[in-house]
Amino acid sequence: MKNTVYLFIASIFILFACQTPKTITKTDSENIRLNQLGYYPASVKQFIIVDMNVSDFDIINEENKVVFSGELTQNGLWEASGEEVSSGDFTVFNEPGKYRILLNDSVASYPFEIKDNLYEEALNAAIKSYYFQRASMPIDESYGGIYKRAAGHPDDKCLYHPSSGKTTGTLNSPGGWYDAGDYGKYIVNASLSVGQMLNLIEIYPDAISDGALNIPESGNGVSDLWDELKYELDWILSMQDDDGGVYFKLTALHFGGFIMPEDYNLDRYIIGKGTASTLNFAAVLAQASRLYQNIDSSWSEKALEASKKAWKWAVLNTDVPFKNPKDVSTGEYGDDIFSDDFYWAATELYITTREETYQTYLTENPIEYAHKLTDSWKSFVRNNAFHSLLDNKNLLNEELASSLNANHLSLAESIIEKIDTNPYRIALEQYEWGSNSDILNQAMILCMAHRISGEEKYLTGAEQINDYIFGKNATGYSFLTGYGSKQVMFPHHRPSGADGIDMPIPGFIAGGPNAHKQDKQNVTYTSEFPAKAYIDEQASFASNEVCLNWNAPAVFVMAYLQQVRK
């Protein structure tokens, strides 16, 4: 029987609808942590109970009748949250419907559903969040509804900061997405994020249909996901210097206030040029070139030419790190280790061109097969490379293909081992800026392990992690804006904070618990425990900001689950 490691069959029995409805005295209990969206019929179905002396549970339907009962497992103290944790499992119950978990015949959880296509709406919203981040164009009411707004940041005459290597003239660099809660545009984060979603497209090119998102390009015969990524890719292309090097970012010198894009009046600058931005540019454009070949062949050729030109610049400029100049305080995205950036660029260029130069680089410059937490925008580029290679193993020699396969499954096993020993059934062991992206990247790794092995345990692990995002966590929040019963209401996101609308723009993943609390001078956290170091306040940039690279793995994971579970 599937998922038997999590089931306690001896204690489970199913009760049928002839029972008398239960009288619930406490609803939406904060002591019950579960996926507030719900579960696929065939998926693992688990939840967490904290700080309650209770040994069993019921599942009740909309009429408050018990449809399933089971026993809880005592998981002990979770030091990261300071909670005594129990867990329940009702994986064998797969009847579609709307339910609650009931404890002590009176204490009920938030409602949840068991249904097919569980993540379809949330997935579409997570992708459409990128549309709402578009610079240089208005968000029309026909596409954005109540979140309509005027165009901001035409970025058609951006000044050159001296760090760019130029001091005169301007650059025309419109379009693209705002990076996070601010209005900057950054090449390294854009490249990583687009690259993760291009990994999805390479696996499931039709995961998102034309018209699914209701964006301006809908109805053009091309998947809305492909269209949305193209909007960012066109901006990325505009950031290349004549010599092949790539500018680092397009921002003002300092962050602006919480105002709408059209009210922004700070000068915009082209800032920096370095090895990381150039290699990430080379990687994502080579990747995009092969995938868009049958959609826009001329654009594909242009992207590949730009990618090769960037690679040549990087080979001649192997160690040019970026640091914010003294007069600049926008996001730094600093990095001074470029071996993984070279590896990703060589990977995508080899897969796209089949040229020996790039294959030789990969062979002669292996890197550690690992998932390094902290700053995913610089540490996960190696994993982007691995995932592309794994999906194109037919282009590799047998030794390299076998090694990649074994190494990936070994990495996935280490994540599964952590899940199995963690009271919350997750693998995350440290909580930092963007911790939700760390845990979603773990889920992405498990999805890839499932893809290459077909083993159910990896899919189960990805589902357990996704449950964390939607409420099975120590804060009790569903971290995707607009979804779940306990929603994030005040993200650190300028349009959501300045538009005068009570509900934030839907579809954004909040950063999540951050033990470092870099913003503690601005907000008062309610817990000293790392897994609870989160506060739903606009001022909390350290725990409640949104960002491109936090949404990207969420898109991948939800889309993957939709493809294999629906």
131: exposed, middle or buried (Cβ count in 10 Å: 0-12, 13-18, 19+): buried
Separation of alpha carbons 224 and 79, rounded Å: 43
Task: State CA 204 to chain mean position distance.
Answer: 17
**Per-residue pLDDT averaged across 332-360, rounded?**
97
265: exposed, middle or buried (Cβ count in 10 Å: 0-12, 13-18, 19+): exposed
**Residues written for the chain:** 566
183-242 per-position pLDDT tens digit = 999 999 999 999 999 999 999 999 999 999 999 999 999 999 999 999 999 999 999 999
pLDDT(2) > 80: no
Q: From the CB of residue 63, how many other CB atoms can be counted at a distance below 10 Å?
A: 10
- Claim: this prediction has a pTM higher than 0.85: yes
When pLDDT is cut at 50, 70 and 90, the band that residue 8 belongs to is: very low
9-43 per-position pLDDT tens digit = 433 444 343 467 777 766 778 999 999 999 999 99
- The CA angle 493-498-503, to the nearest 5 degrees, is 75
Model pLDDT, residue 17? 38
**Per-residue pLDDT averaged across 422-432, rounded?**
96
* Residue whose C-alpha is closest to residue 307's, from 265, 338, 352, 249: 352
264: exposed, middle or buried (Cβ count in 10 Å: 0-12, 13-18, 19+): middle
pLDDT(97) > 80: yes
pLDDT(126) > 90: yes
Separation of alpha carbons 430 and 513, rounded Å: 9
Residue-wise burial string across 475-514, b where 16 or more C-beta atoms lie within 10 A, e elsewhere: bbbbbbbbbbbbbbbbbbbbbbbbbeeeebbbbbbbbbbb
For residue 152, CA distances in Å to 140, 234, 261 come to 13, 17, 4
Residue 487's beta-bridge partner residues? 478
* Structural domains for the chain: 4-114 (2.60.40.10), 147-422 (1.50.10.10)
What are the structure tokens assigned to 385, written together? 């490379």
Contacts of 360 by beta carbon, 8 Å cutoff, 6+ apart: none
141-158 per-position pLDDT tens digit = 999 999 999 999 999 999
Q: pLDDT above 90 covers what percent of the chain?
A: 93
Mean pLDDT of the chain: 95
Model pLDDT, residue 13? 41
Model pLDDT, residue 24? 75
Backbone angles phi, psi at 458, to 5 degrees: -75, -40
Separation of alpha carbons 439 and 80, rounded Å: 15
Model pLDDT, residue 465? 97
457-513 per-position pLDDT tens digit = 999 999 999 999 999 999 999 999 999 999 999 999 999 999 999 999 999 999 999
Q: Are 11 and 71 in contact (CB under 8 A)?
A: yes
For residue 70, CA distances in Å to 43, 87, 89, 344, 404 come to 17, 11, 8, 48, 41
Model pLDDT, residue 21? 77
280-308 per-position pLDDT tens digit = 999 999 999 999 999 999 999 999 999 99
The catalytic site residues sit at 182, 492, 536, 545
For residue 149, CA distances in Å to 129, 192, 260, 450, 491 come to 14, 28, 8, 41, 18
**Per-residue pLDDT averaged across 406-416, rounded?**
98
Helix (H, G, I), strand (E, B) or coil at 103: strand
**Per-residue pLDDT averaged across 440-457, rounded?**
98
Model pLDDT, residue 28? 76
What are the structure tokens assigned to 349, written together? 């260029």
Helix (H, G, I), strand (E, B) or coil at 68: strand
pLDDT(83) > 60: yes
